[in-house]
Structure 1
Amino acid sequence: MRALPFPAFCRVTLLALPAALAIAGTVHAEEKTASAVFAGGCFWCMEEAYDKVDGVLATTSGFSGGHVEAPSYNQVVAGGTGHAEVVKVDYDPERVDYETLLHVFWRNIDPFAVDRQFCDKGASYRSALFPMDADQRALAEASRDAIAERFDPPIATEINDFEAFYPAETYHQDYYLENPVRYRFYKSACGRDERLEEVWGEEAGASTAS
Protein backbone atom coordinates (compact mmCIF):
# COMPACT_ATOMS: atom_id res chain seq x y z
CA MET A 1 0.00 0.00 0.00
CA ARG A 2 1.35 3.41 -0.94
CA ALA A 3 2.24 5.55 2.03
CA LEU A 4 1.15 9.02 0.93
CA PRO A 5 3.73 11.66 1.82
CA PHE A 6 1.39 13.91 3.75
CA PRO A 7 -0.79 13.72 6.87
CA ALA A 8 -3.79 11.46 6.97
CA PHE A 9 -6.20 14.36 7.30
CA CYS A 10 -5.16 15.50 3.82
CA ARG A 11 -6.47 12.26 2.38
CA VAL A 12 -10.15 12.95 2.85
CA THR A 13 -12.04 11.09 0.18
CA LEU A 14 -13.99 13.51 -1.98
CA LEU A 15 -17.09 12.57 -3.89
CA ALA A 16 -16.21 9.86 -6.36
CA LEU A 17 -16.62 10.44 -10.05
CA PRO A 18 -19.62 8.68 -11.61
CA ALA A 19 -19.47 4.90 -11.32
CA ALA A 20 -18.05 2.68 -14.02
CA LEU A 21 -17.50 4.42 -17.29
CA ALA A 22 -19.25 2.55 -20.03
CA ILE A 23 -16.80 1.94 -22.84
CA ALA A 24 -18.49 0.29 -25.80
CA GLY A 25 -15.74 -1.01 -28.00
CA THR A 26 -12.33 0.47 -28.44
CA VAL A 27 -13.07 3.21 -30.97
CA HIS A 28 -15.80 5.74 -30.24
CA ALA A 29 -17.23 6.57 -33.65
CA GLU A 30 -18.81 9.92 -32.76
CA GLU A 31 -15.72 11.39 -31.16
CA LYS A 32 -13.24 9.48 -33.34
CA THR A 33 -11.24 8.52 -30.30
CA ALA A 34 -10.00 5.23 -28.91
CA SER A 35 -9.38 4.02 -25.36
CA ALA A 36 -6.88 1.76 -23.64
CA VAL A 37 -6.37 0.69 -20.03
CA PHE A 38 -2.97 0.14 -18.39
CA ALA A 39 -1.91 -0.86 -14.86
CA GLY A 40 1.58 0.29 -14.00
CA GLY A 41 1.54 0.78 -10.26
CA CYS A 42 0.82 4.30 -9.04
CA PHE A 43 -1.82 5.76 -11.34
CA TRP A 44 -0.56 9.28 -10.65
CA CYS A 45 2.73 8.33 -12.32
CA MET A 46 1.07 6.62 -15.26
CA GLU A 47 -1.10 9.69 -15.86
CA GLU A 48 2.04 11.81 -16.05
CA ALA A 49 3.70 9.38 -18.47
CA TYR A 50 0.77 9.25 -20.88
CA ASP A 51 -0.07 12.94 -20.73
CA LYS A 52 3.30 13.53 -22.43
CA VAL A 53 2.36 11.39 -25.44
CA ASP A 54 1.38 13.29 -28.56
CA GLY A 55 -2.11 12.17 -29.58
CA VAL A 56 -3.31 11.34 -26.06
CA LEU A 57 -6.46 13.35 -25.42
CA ALA A 58 -7.18 12.52 -21.78
CA THR A 59 -6.05 10.28 -18.93
CA THR A 60 -8.16 9.13 -15.99
CA SER A 61 -6.93 7.39 -12.86
CA GLY A 62 -9.06 4.50 -11.70
CA PHE A 63 -9.41 0.79 -11.07
CA SER A 64 -9.91 -2.31 -13.19
CA GLY A 65 -9.48 -6.07 -13.10
CA GLY A 66 -11.48 -6.83 -9.96
CA HIS A 67 -14.93 -7.99 -8.90
CA VAL A 68 -16.19 -5.10 -6.72
CA GLU A 69 -18.32 -2.47 -8.43
CA ALA A 70 -17.36 1.18 -8.01
CA PRO A 71 -14.71 0.58 -5.33
CA SER A 72 -13.11 3.37 -3.32
CA TYR A 73 -9.37 3.93 -3.28
CA ASN A 74 -9.21 2.73 0.33
CA GLN A 75 -11.02 -0.49 -0.57
CA VAL A 76 -8.67 -1.22 -3.44
CA VAL A 77 -5.38 -0.63 -1.62
CA ALA A 78 -6.65 -2.58 1.41
CA GLY A 79 -6.91 -5.65 -0.84
CA GLY A 80 -9.69 -8.10 -1.55
CA THR A 81 -11.35 -6.28 -4.46
CA GLY A 82 -9.15 -7.83 -7.14
CA HIS A 83 -8.68 -4.41 -8.73
CA ALA A 84 -5.44 -2.81 -9.81
CA GLU A 85 -4.71 0.88 -10.00
CA VAL A 86 -4.98 1.76 -13.69
CA VAL A 87 -5.02 4.68 -16.04
CA LYS A 88 -7.56 4.91 -18.85
CA VAL A 89 -6.03 6.59 -21.87
CA ASP A 90 -8.27 8.24 -24.47
CA TYR A 91 -6.38 8.95 -27.66
CA ASP A 92 -6.66 9.98 -31.29
CA PRO A 93 -5.84 6.85 -33.33
CA GLU A 94 -4.92 9.03 -36.30
CA ARG A 95 -2.10 10.60 -34.26
CA VAL A 96 -0.94 7.74 -32.04
CA ASP A 97 -1.58 4.01 -32.21
CA TYR A 98 -1.96 1.32 -29.56
CA GLU A 99 1.47 -0.11 -30.35
CA THR A 100 3.07 3.20 -29.38
CA LEU A 101 1.06 3.29 -26.16
CA LEU A 102 2.34 -0.22 -25.39
CA HIS A 103 5.92 0.92 -26.02
CA VAL A 104 5.40 3.75 -23.53
CA PHE A 105 3.78 1.39 -21.02
CA TRP A 106 6.66 -1.05 -20.84
CA ARG A 107 9.27 1.67 -20.43
CA ASN A 108 7.41 3.20 -17.52
CA ILE A 109 7.13 0.02 -15.43
CA ASP A 110 9.28 -2.66 -13.83
CA PRO A 111 8.05 -5.71 -15.79
CA PHE A 112 9.69 -8.19 -13.41
CA ALA A 113 8.01 -7.05 -10.18
CA VAL A 114 5.33 -9.38 -8.82
CA ASP A 115 2.32 -7.74 -7.13
CA ARG A 116 4.11 -4.44 -6.71
CA GLN A 117 5.71 -1.55 -8.56
CA PHE A 118 8.69 0.23 -7.05
CA CYS A 119 7.91 1.10 -3.39
CA ASP A 120 4.19 0.31 -3.74
CA LYS A 121 3.44 -3.25 -2.64
CA GLY A 122 0.33 -5.37 -3.00
CA ALA A 123 -1.76 -6.87 -5.81
CA SER A 124 -3.46 -3.53 -6.44
CA TYR A 125 -0.09 -2.26 -7.69
CA ARG A 126 0.58 -5.14 -10.10
CA SER A 127 1.39 -4.35 -13.69
CA ALA A 128 -1.18 -5.46 -16.25
CA LEU A 129 -2.60 -4.81 -19.68
CA PHE A 130 -6.36 -4.83 -20.24
CA PRO A 131 -6.96 -5.23 -23.99
CA MET A 132 -10.43 -4.13 -25.04
CA ASP A 133 -10.73 -6.17 -28.21
CA ALA A 134 -8.99 -8.91 -30.19
CA ASP A 135 -6.67 -6.50 -31.97
CA GLN A 136 -5.47 -4.95 -28.72
CA ARG A 137 -4.95 -8.40 -27.20
CA ALA A 138 -2.85 -9.56 -30.15
CA LEU A 139 -0.68 -6.47 -29.95
CA ALA A 140 -0.40 -6.72 -26.16
CA GLU A 141 0.72 -10.34 -26.35
CA ALA A 142 3.21 -9.56 -29.12
CA SER A 143 4.69 -6.72 -27.09
CA ARG A 144 5.05 -8.93 -24.01
CA ASP A 145 6.72 -11.64 -26.10
CA ALA A 146 9.19 -9.08 -27.45
CA ILE A 147 10.04 -7.90 -23.93
CA ALA A 148 10.42 -11.51 -22.75
CA GLU A 149 12.92 -12.18 -25.54
CA ARG A 150 14.93 -9.14 -24.54
CA PHE A 151 15.36 -9.96 -20.84
CA ASP A 152 16.28 -13.06 -18.87
CA PRO A 153 14.03 -12.59 -15.77
CA PRO A 154 10.42 -13.74 -16.30
CA ILE A 155 7.88 -11.04 -17.15
CA ALA A 156 5.33 -10.64 -14.36
CA THR A 157 2.99 -8.30 -16.25
CA GLU A 158 -0.48 -9.80 -16.72
CA ILE A 159 -2.71 -9.58 -19.79
CA ASN A 160 -6.39 -9.71 -18.86
CA ASP A 161 -9.41 -8.92 -21.00
CA PHE A 162 -10.98 -5.59 -20.15
CA GLU A 163 -14.28 -5.82 -18.26
CA ALA A 164 -14.92 -2.52 -16.51
CA PHE A 165 -13.21 0.70 -15.53
CA TYR A 166 -14.08 2.63 -12.37
CA PRO A 167 -12.68 6.16 -12.00
CA ALA A 168 -10.90 7.00 -8.76
CA GLU A 169 -11.96 9.83 -6.48
CA THR A 170 -11.63 13.40 -7.73
CA TYR A 171 -8.57 14.17 -5.62
CA HIS A 172 -6.58 11.50 -7.46
CA GLN A 173 -7.20 12.99 -10.91
CA ASP A 174 -4.29 15.05 -12.27
CA TYR A 175 -2.60 14.64 -8.89
CA TYR A 176 0.85 15.32 -10.28
CA LEU A 177 -0.39 18.67 -11.62
CA GLU A 178 -2.56 19.68 -8.68
CA ASN A 179 -0.05 18.70 -5.99
CA PRO A 180 3.37 18.97 -7.66
CA VAL A 181 5.50 19.24 -4.51
CA ARG A 182 3.89 16.29 -2.76
CA TYR A 183 3.95 14.29 -6.00
CA ARG A 184 7.63 14.90 -6.64
CA PHE A 185 8.45 13.95 -3.05
CA TYR A 186 6.48 10.71 -3.36
CA LYS A 187 7.99 9.80 -6.72
CA SER A 188 11.54 10.51 -5.55
CA ALA A 189 11.11 8.62 -2.27
CA CYS A 190 9.65 5.67 -4.18
CA GLY A 191 12.74 5.32 -6.37
CA ARG A 192 10.70 5.03 -9.55
CA ASP A 193 13.05 6.90 -11.88
CA GLU A 194 16.12 5.09 -10.59
CA ARG A 195 14.59 1.65 -11.12
CA LEU A 196 13.33 2.56 -14.59
CA GLU A 197 16.81 3.65 -15.58
CA GLU A 198 18.25 0.44 -14.15
CA VAL A 199 15.89 -1.66 -16.29
CA TRP A 200 15.56 0.45 -19.43
CA GLY A 201 18.63 2.67 -19.58
CA GLU A 202 18.15 5.57 -22.00
CA GLU A 203 14.69 4.28 -22.92
CA ALA A 204 13.37 4.80 -19.38
CA GLY A 205 10.20 6.85 -19.15
CA ALA A 206 9.75 7.00 -22.93
CA SER A 207 6.81 8.99 -24.26
CA THR A 208 7.25 7.92 -27.90
CA ALA A 209 8.15 4.75 -29.77
CA SER A 210 11.30 6.24 -31.27
Structure 2
Amino acid sequence: MERAIFAGGCFWCMVKPFDSLPGIYSVLSGYTGGTVANPTYEQVKSHTTGHTEAVEIIFDPELFSYENLLEIYWQQTDPTDAFGQFEDRGSNYRPVIFYLNEQQKHAAEASREKLAASGQFKEPIVTKIEPATTFYPAELEHQAYYKHHPTNYARTSARRKKFLAENWQSAVH
Protein backbone atom coordinates (compact mmCIF):
# COMPACT_ATOMS: atom_id res chain seq x y z
CA MET A 1 0.00 0.00 0.00
CA GLU A 2 1.03 3.59 -0.59
CA ARG A 3 -0.23 6.97 0.60
CA ALA A 4 -1.11 10.12 -1.29
CA ILE A 5 -2.10 13.46 0.26
CA PHE A 6 -4.00 16.05 -1.75
CA ALA A 7 -5.56 19.39 -0.82
CA GLY A 8 -8.12 21.02 -3.05
CA GLY A 9 -10.49 23.12 -1.02
CA CYS A 10 -12.93 21.71 1.48
CA PHE A 11 -12.03 18.13 2.25
CA TRP A 12 -15.72 17.21 2.19
CA CYS A 13 -15.65 17.57 -1.60
CA MET A 14 -12.31 15.83 -2.12
CA VAL A 15 -13.32 12.44 -0.71
CA LYS A 16 -16.07 11.26 -3.06
CA PRO A 17 -14.08 11.37 -6.35
CA PHE A 18 -11.52 8.91 -4.95
CA ASP A 19 -13.66 6.91 -2.55
CA SER A 20 -14.97 4.07 -4.68
CA LEU A 21 -12.21 3.49 -7.21
CA PRO A 22 -10.64 0.04 -7.52
CA GLY A 23 -7.41 -0.19 -5.58
CA ILE A 24 -8.27 2.64 -3.22
CA TYR A 25 -8.65 1.32 0.30
CA SER A 26 -9.39 4.48 2.24
CA VAL A 27 -9.85 8.22 1.83
CA LEU A 28 -9.54 10.13 5.06
CA SER A 29 -10.29 13.83 5.63
CA GLY A 30 -7.75 15.69 7.72
CA TYR A 31 -5.28 18.51 8.18
CA THR A 32 -1.65 18.91 7.20
CA GLY A 33 1.07 21.48 6.77
CA GLY A 34 0.54 23.43 9.97
CA THR A 35 2.31 24.16 13.22
CA VAL A 36 -0.17 22.91 15.84
CA ALA A 37 -0.29 19.25 16.86
CA ASN A 38 -3.69 17.57 16.63
CA PRO A 39 -5.63 20.60 15.40
CA THR A 40 -9.41 20.73 15.52
CA TYR A 41 -11.70 21.77 12.68
CA GLU A 42 -12.49 25.01 14.49
CA GLN A 43 -8.78 25.81 14.93
CA VAL A 44 -7.99 25.14 11.28
CA LYS A 45 -11.05 27.13 10.16
CA SER A 46 -9.82 30.10 12.22
CA HIS A 47 -6.66 30.32 10.04
CA THR A 48 -4.40 30.27 13.10
CA THR A 49 -2.69 26.87 12.74
CA GLY A 50 -1.22 27.01 9.24
CA HIS A 51 -2.94 23.74 8.31
CA THR A 52 -4.58 22.94 5.01
CA GLU A 53 -7.65 20.72 4.72
CA ALA A 54 -6.59 17.63 2.78
CA VAL A 55 -7.35 14.00 2.08
CA GLU A 56 -5.09 11.06 2.73
CA ILE A 57 -5.57 8.25 0.23
CA ILE A 58 -4.34 4.73 0.89
CA PHE A 59 -4.05 2.87 -2.38
CA ASP A 60 -2.58 -0.20 -4.03
CA PRO A 61 -0.28 1.07 -6.79
CA GLU A 62 -0.60 -2.28 -8.59
CA LEU A 63 -4.32 -1.60 -9.07
CA PHE A 64 -4.39 2.20 -9.26
CA SER A 65 -1.25 4.20 -9.93
CA TYR A 66 -0.21 7.47 -8.34
CA GLU A 67 -0.29 9.01 -11.82
CA ASN A 68 -3.96 8.01 -12.11
CA LEU A 69 -4.64 9.63 -8.75
CA LEU A 70 -3.02 12.82 -10.03
CA GLU A 71 -5.27 12.83 -13.11
CA ILE A 72 -8.32 12.60 -10.89
CA TYR A 73 -6.95 15.24 -8.53
CA TRP A 74 -6.53 17.84 -11.28
CA GLN A 75 -10.11 17.25 -12.38
CA GLN A 76 -11.44 18.09 -8.89
CA THR A 77 -9.80 21.48 -8.46
CA ASP A 78 -9.35 24.90 -9.97
CA PRO A 79 -5.57 24.77 -10.42
CA THR A 80 -5.49 28.50 -11.23
CA ASP A 81 -6.76 29.63 -7.81
CA ALA A 82 -4.02 29.77 -5.16
CA PHE A 83 -6.12 31.24 -2.36
CA GLY A 84 -8.82 28.64 -1.89
CA GLN A 85 -11.21 26.68 -4.02
CA PHE A 86 -14.61 27.79 -5.19
CA GLU A 87 -16.61 29.16 -2.23
CA ASP A 88 -13.91 28.04 0.23
CA ARG A 89 -11.47 30.92 0.68
CA GLY A 90 -8.24 31.13 2.62
CA SER A 91 -4.92 29.38 3.00
CA ASN A 92 -6.53 26.37 4.70
CA TYR A 93 -8.30 25.65 1.40
CA ARG A 94 -5.35 26.12 -0.96
CA PRO A 95 -4.65 23.50 -3.65
CA VAL A 96 -1.55 21.45 -2.83
CA ILE A 97 -0.15 18.08 -3.81
CA PHE A 98 1.83 16.88 -0.79
CA TYR A 99 4.44 14.37 -1.89
CA LEU A 100 5.76 11.58 0.32
CA ASN A 101 8.83 10.60 -1.71
CA GLU A 102 10.88 11.70 -4.69
CA GLN A 103 8.87 9.55 -7.12
CA GLN A 104 5.65 11.29 -6.09
CA LYS A 105 7.35 14.69 -6.33
CA HIS A 106 8.56 14.02 -9.88
CA ALA A 107 5.21 12.56 -10.95
CA ALA A 108 3.35 15.57 -9.51
CA GLU A 109 5.70 18.04 -11.19
CA ALA A 110 5.39 16.24 -14.53
CA SER A 111 1.59 16.17 -14.30
CA ARG A 112 1.46 19.89 -13.44
CA GLU A 113 3.73 20.68 -16.40
CA LYS A 114 1.55 18.55 -18.68
CA LEU A 115 -1.57 20.37 -17.51
CA ALA A 116 0.09 23.78 -17.99
CA ALA A 117 1.18 22.84 -21.52
CA SER A 118 -2.27 21.47 -22.43
CA GLY A 119 -3.90 24.88 -22.81
CA GLN A 120 -6.83 23.65 -20.71
CA PHE A 121 -6.69 26.86 -18.64
CA LYS A 122 -5.95 30.43 -19.74
CA GLU A 123 -4.54 31.39 -16.34
CA PRO A 124 -1.29 29.93 -14.94
CA ILE A 125 -1.39 26.70 -12.96
CA VAL A 126 -0.61 27.73 -9.35
CA THR A 127 -1.20 24.49 -7.43
CA LYS A 128 1.74 23.93 -5.09
CA ILE A 129 3.73 20.74 -4.77
CA GLU A 130 5.17 20.46 -1.26
CA PRO A 131 6.72 17.80 0.95
CA ALA A 132 4.19 16.08 3.17
CA THR A 133 4.20 16.76 6.88
CA THR A 134 2.19 15.10 9.62
CA PHE A 135 -1.35 14.32 8.53
CA TYR A 136 -3.93 14.65 11.31
CA PRO A 137 -7.28 12.92 10.71
CA ALA A 138 -10.26 15.24 11.04
CA GLU A 139 -13.02 14.61 13.53
CA LEU A 140 -15.44 11.76 12.82
CA GLU A 141 -18.25 14.06 11.62
CA HIS A 142 -16.03 15.15 8.70
CA GLN A 143 -15.29 11.63 7.44
CA ALA A 144 -17.25 10.45 4.37
CA TYR A 145 -19.31 13.63 4.70
CA TYR A 146 -21.02 13.12 1.33
CA LYS A 147 -22.51 9.83 2.55
CA HIS A 148 -23.82 11.08 5.88
CA HIS A 149 -25.01 14.55 4.80
CA PRO A 150 -25.99 14.24 1.12
CA THR A 151 -28.18 17.35 1.01
CA ASN A 152 -25.58 19.63 2.55
CA TYR A 153 -22.85 18.00 0.45
CA ALA A 154 -24.84 18.70 -2.73
CA ARG A 155 -25.28 22.33 -1.69
CA THR A 156 -21.64 22.88 -0.75
CA SER A 157 -20.30 21.12 -3.84
CA ALA A 158 -22.62 22.76 -6.41
CA ARG A 159 -20.24 25.57 -7.42
CA ARG A 160 -17.36 23.11 -7.71
CA LYS A 161 -19.41 20.75 -9.88
CA LYS A 162 -20.42 23.60 -12.20
CA PHE A 163 -16.80 24.72 -12.63
CA LEU A 164 -15.60 21.18 -13.25
CA ALA A 165 -18.31 20.52 -15.83
CA GLU A 166 -17.43 23.71 -17.69
CA ASN A 167 -13.67 23.33 -17.54
CA TRP A 168 -13.03 19.60 -17.75
CA GLN A 169 -15.61 18.49 -20.30
CA SER A 170 -12.98 18.43 -23.04
CA ALA A 171 -10.18 17.07 -20.87
CA VAL A 172 -8.56 13.82 -21.81
CA HIS A 173 -9.01 11.27 -19.01
Which band: TM-score by shorter chain?
Answer: over 0.9
2:38 aligns to what? 70
Q: CA deviation at 1:52?
A: 3.1
Query: Retained in 2: the 8 A contact 1:65–1:160?
Result: no
Aligned length: 171
Distance in 2 (alpha carbons) for counterparts of 1:133 and 1:74? 30
2:133 aligns to what? 163
1:37 aligns to what? 5
Distance in 2 (alpha carbons) for counterparts of 1:186 and 1:107? 17
Name which of structure 1's ranges 88-97 and 48-57 shifts more when overlaid on structure 2: 48-57
Q: CA deviation at 1:149?
A: 1.1
Distance in 2 (alpha carbons) for counterparts of 1:163 and 1:150? 30
Q: CA deviation at 1:95?
A: 0.3
Aligned-partner residue type, residue 109 of structure 1: T
TM-score with structure 2 setting the length? 0.94
Identical counterparts, % of pairs:
40
Are 2:169 and 1:201 aligned?
yes
Are 2:87 and 1:119 aligned?
yes
Runs of 4+ in structure 1 deviating by more than 4 angstroms, as ranges, are none
Out of 153, 161, 173, the residue aligned to residue 183 of structure 1 is 153
Query: Retained in 2: the 8 A contact 1:51–1:58?
Result: yes
Within a 5 Å distance, the mapping from 1:17-56 to structure 2 comes to: 33-56=1-24
Task: Give the match's secondary structure for 1:63.
Answer: strand
Aligned-partner residue type, residue 135 of structure 1: Q
Out of 140, 143, 150, the residue aligned to residue 173 of structure 1 is 143
Give unmatched runs, 5+ long, in structure 2: none
Q: CA deviation at 1:202?
A: 4.5
Q: CA deviation at 1:53?
A: 2.1
TM-score with structure 1 setting the length? 0.78
Aligned-partner residue type, residue 143 of structure 2: Q
Give RMSD over aligned pairs.
1.3
When Rg is computed on C-alpha atoms for both structures, the one with the higher figure is: 1
Out of 80, 91, 116, the residue aligned to residue 48 of structure 2 is 80
Are 2:115 and 1:142 aligned?
no
Distance in 1 (alpha carbons) for counterparts of 2:170 and 2:144? 26
Give unmatched runs, 5+ long, in structure 1: 1-32, 204-208
Query: Retained in 2: the 8 A contact 1:129–1:159?
Result: yes
Distance in 2 (alpha carbons) for counterparts of 1:186 and 1:162? 27
